[in-house]
Chains A and B, each alone.
Chain A
Amino acid sequence: MANPISRAWRKLFYQDGGSYFLLPKVDSAFPDPPNEGPFGDAGPPVWHWIDRLTYGGKVATPFFYTIIGVLLGLLTLIEVYFFTIDDFFGSFFVTVMLLLALLKFVIVVAFFMHLRFDKNLLTLVFTSGFLIAILVFVIMLSVQGQIAPAPLVAP
C-alpha cells in the first residue's frame, strides 16, 4: 500500500475503515424518531385523510370495499358521460380519459389488491414492471409518431 494511487483507490472503493463508502452506523440504542413520512404535514388535507385511513389495513371492512366498488362504478359512469358529451374537453379528452383510467387502476391495485396494506417490496415489484411497460411503450409510440401526429407532408 505504498503506492499513493493505490491508497487513493482504497479510500474510494475498499470497504475498510478509511473508505469513503463506509457509512457510519446508527447506535442501536438510539430510540426510533417519530416517523411523519417524508412530506410531514405538507400537501392537501384529503391526502392525509386517505393516508391515515388506509394505513395498515385498519379500514379494510366490507363497508369500505363496497364504498370503493361504488366509487369505481361512478368513475366508469363519469368516463362514459365524458365520452358522450361531444368535444367538451377538446384536445384534452385523451388526457382526461387516461387520468381517469389511471385513477381506477390505482384504486383497484391499492385497495382491492391490498398493496396499500401490504409490504412495500410488493409495491416496488409491481410498480417497476408497470412503469417500465409504460415508459418503453410510450417511447415506442412516440418514435412511431402515434402520440403527436406525424408532421404533415407539405402539399
Chain B
Amino acid sequence: MAQAATVQEQHGHIADTNTGISNRKLLMWVFLASDCLFFGSFIATYLVYRNESLAGPYPNEVLDIPITSVSTFVLLMSSLAMVLALHYAQKDQLGLTRFWILAVAVLGAIFLGFQVFEFTTFVNEGLTIRSNLFGTTFFILTGFHGLHVLMGVLWLLGMAFAHFKGALTSRSVEDLEMAGLYWHFVDIVWIIIFTVIYLIGFSDGEGIETIEHAASIIGG
C-alpha cells in the first residue's frame, strides 16, 4: 500500500509538498517510527522474562553464537547491497541495479534459511513455543522479525521482476527507496536482537524459584 500514489503526484502543479518530502517517503518513516514500538514491545517482553523460565531448555543450552554471527553478517551485507542498488538506480544504471536487488533478495533468503535451520535445531533440542517462557518469547520475537524479512524478500523480488521490466523511471526509483528503507529497518531490528538476545542473553539460565519471583514483584 506504500505504492498508493497521491492526488498530488498525478499533477505537477502541486507536486511540491509543504515539507519537501514526498508523501510516500514520509509515510514510510512514520511507519518505521511506529514499528519501533512494535518490536520494542516484543523485545521488552523478552527482557521482562529473562531468567524467568521455570523449565529447560535455557538460552545457554541452545543458542549457537557462531552460526548466528554468520547470519547477522549476511543480513548486514544485504543492507550494503540494498544501498548500492538504490545508488545505481538513482544513477540510471539498470543492470547493476537489478544485480544488487537480486543480491539483497538472495542474502535475505540465506538469512531466512539460517533462521529455519536454527528453529528446527531448537525444536529438535526440545525448545518449542510451549515449552517455557524463553521458547515463547524467543520464537515469537524472532518469528515476527523473520516474517518481516520474508515480506521484504517478496517485495524486492516483485520489484526486480515487475518494475524493472520497463525503463527505469523516477517513480520506480522511489519505489526502490521505500523497499530499501524497510529493508534497512529490518536490519537494524536484527542488530538489536542479535546483541540483546544472543550476546547479552546467552548466559541466561534457569529461572529463580516461583516464590522469590513473586517476592521480587511485590518488591520485598
Asked whether any CB of A lies within 8 Å of a CB of B in the complex, the reply is: yes
- In the bound complex, what is the Cα–Cα distance between A108 and B35 (angstroms)? 16
- In the bound complex, what is the Cα–Cα distance between A153 and B213 (angstroms)? 11
Interface size class of B (residues with CB under 8 A): 35 or more
Q: A98-B195, A109-B184, A146-B47 are in contact. Are A122 and B29 (CB under 8 A)?
A: yes
Q: A122-B26, A153-B215, A153-B220 are in contact. Are A140 and B44 (CB under 8 A)?
A: yes
With a cutoff of 8 Å between Cβ atoms, the chain B residues found around residue A55 in the complex are none
Say yes or no: is A126 at the interface (Cβ < 8 Å to chain B): yes
Tell me if A108 and B44 are in contact (CB < 8 A): no
Say yes or no: is A132 at the interface (Cβ < 8 Å to chain B): yes
Give me the interface of A with B, judged by CB distance under 8 Å. Answer: 60-62, 65-66, 68-69, 72-73, 76, 79-80, 83, 93-94, 97-98, 100-101, 104-105, 108-109, 111-113, 118-119, 121-122, 125-126, 128-130, 132-134, 136-137, 140-141, 144-146, 150-151, 153
Name A's interface SS. helix
- In the bound complex, what is the Cα–Cα distance between A100 and B61 (angstroms)? 25
With a cutoff of 8 Å between Cβ atoms, the chain A residues found around residue B195 in the complex are 79, 97-98, 100-101
Tell me if B199 and A146 are in contact (CB < 8 A): no
- In the bound complex, what is the Cα–Cα distance between A145 and B10 (angstroms)? 54
Tell me if A112 and B192 are in contact (CB < 8 A): no
Q: How far is the CB of B40 from chain A (nearest CB, A)?
A: 4
With a cutoff of 8 Å between Cβ atoms, the chain B residues found around residue A79 in the complex are 194-195, 199
Q: How far is the CB of A150 from chain B (nearest CB, A)?
A: 4
Name the CB-closest residue of A to B38. A133
